[in-house]
Amino acid sequence: MNMIAFSIELCQFSLELSKDMGKYLFQSLKCILVKNIFPVLWDKNQMNMHLKDAVPTCSDFKILFHKLDYITGQWYNQYMIIRKAYKFRLKTNSEIEGLLFQYSGCNRFVWNRSLALQKESLDKEKKVLPYGHLAACLVRWKKDDASFLKTAPSQTLQQTLKFLDRALKDAFDKKQPNKRFPVFKKKYKCVDSFRCPQGFKIEGNRISLPKIGWVRFYNSRQTLGTPKNVTVSRRGKHWFISIQTEQNVVVPERPVFNPHADIIGIDMGLKRFLTRSDGEYIEPLNSFKKLENKLARAQKLLARKKKFSCNWKKQKQKISRLHIKIADARNDFLQKHSTIMSKNHAVIVAEDLTIDNMTESAKGTMKNPGKNVKKKSDLNKSILDQGWSAFLRMLGYKQKWSGGIFHQVDPAYTSRTCPECDHVSDNRKTQALFECIECGYTANADHVAAINIKAKGIKELGGGTHRISLRRDGDSHPLSQKPTTLGNQALYLAP
């Protein structure tokens, strides 16, 4: 059933709903936040609702439940919390930039000094100091030899201690083997940043930061949701604010009526950035490769200059601008193509690639030196230049926001299996051409892999706890089996 609420501007209430399940049976629905509600006409599908903390002048109101097709397997729309960050560039002057540098330096000092205490404690007692102990130390530092910390907002310093506490917990978490022990932050080798969890105000194209005041920024788009915190950071010669918001939204329904168009399989590659199961492909951007020679020349000039001199700092800024240009071009490329795919396809199936292992160095050790080190190094550079990991991560959360499904399958034998006869052998005569030795089927190797990835995804989603409900166009009920949900969504596949 889909829930529709008719409303006008009033205020925000917390609602507790229940639905009629039969004789004397009522099931409580999830507590949701509904904004702008007002009385509507009675209907046989309406249900009463209990209102907490309502204003006395507000009359009774109802929510309509319109029955569509009983194929979703769900009684109500599901809600999810979306946290987004909106990044804008600040309009600063020399005075504001001086304060931002000062506060970033104070946070870096607190991080390094707290980390030194943690290492000392681990070496002696093998015990991590809790956040409360470090917060008490911070108060003593302000009174003793680090009185300059009083100039920085206290909550930003406390937030730095929380970041360190979180980093230490992650480092000792066995469920996160890739997390490493935190390191000291150097002045010229770390990102200048600090976070304001409270005490900020946003009005149009300006923001009020603690102990700084109102600062204007380039308001390029509307921020949706309730602002929770603000992070100030420096990138190159510019300062940015990142406003994290939180909003409660309804998970949309995206049924699949045409499996050829709504379900897509993708194969990641180097010659082709991405090949789809329908035969289309995307050429790679290679943003690093295009500027690699220019970056190498700039780094050679930097090595010839005296360290920390004026010319050295100017050359370092040029190198920083090149890195920013490469990263921005890659991010723009990935964001655009992931958005297009998420909007056009309800189900996206990709390979579950272990990119960390694929890009591992082949140098080896002195006793066991690696083989084909130069060739493997070029391969690693090309894979990292494509941004596979970031692209798959973008597809994951964009599909979740839009109500779609992003599923990853085992990549084994996807490029060696014939999609016509299912024969698995050394059918890939060359890197680009697939030719089945059993039935003679010939096609591009990446296209064949994408077809097999899609087939694997449909098979996995259609079996076990994840079942695909088959129905014909115009039918209001499934053909073969009862519909079930995949995570938060139900998937319907037309033959």
**Which residues belong to the active site?**
267, 351, 446
SS3 assignment for 64-98? EEECCCCCCCCCCCCEEEEEEEEEEEECCCHHHHH
Question: What would the two tokens of residue 363 be?
Answer: 């140098």
Q: What stretches of 286-345 show up as alpha helix (H) in DSSP? A: 287-290, 292-303, 310-344
For residues 296 and 489, give the distance between their C-alpha atoms in angstroms, rounded to a whole number.
49
With CA atoms as reference, report the closest residue to 228 among 197, 205, 193, 261. 197
Q: At what angle do helices 310-344 and 292-303 cross, to 10 degrees?
A: 160
Return the C-alpha torsion angle 51, 81, 65, 30, nearest 10. Answer: -50
Whats the size of the chain, residue-wise? 495
The residue assigned the tokens 């970033």 is 104
Cβ proximity of 417 and 423 under 8 Å: yes
Count of Cβ atoms closer than 10 Å to residue 425 Cβ: 12
* DSSP H or E stretch at residue 453: helix 445-461
Cβ proximity of 476 and 394 under 8 Å: no
* DSSP H or E stretch at residue 395: helix 388-402
Collapse the DSSP code of 417 into the 3-class scheme (helix H, G, I; strand E, B; otherwise coil) and give the result. Answer: strand
CA 359, 360, 363, 368 torsion-angle sign:
negative
For residues 202 and 5, give the distance between their C-alpha atoms in angstroms, rounded to a whole number.
30
Count of Cβ atoms closer than 10 Å to residue 474 Cβ: 5
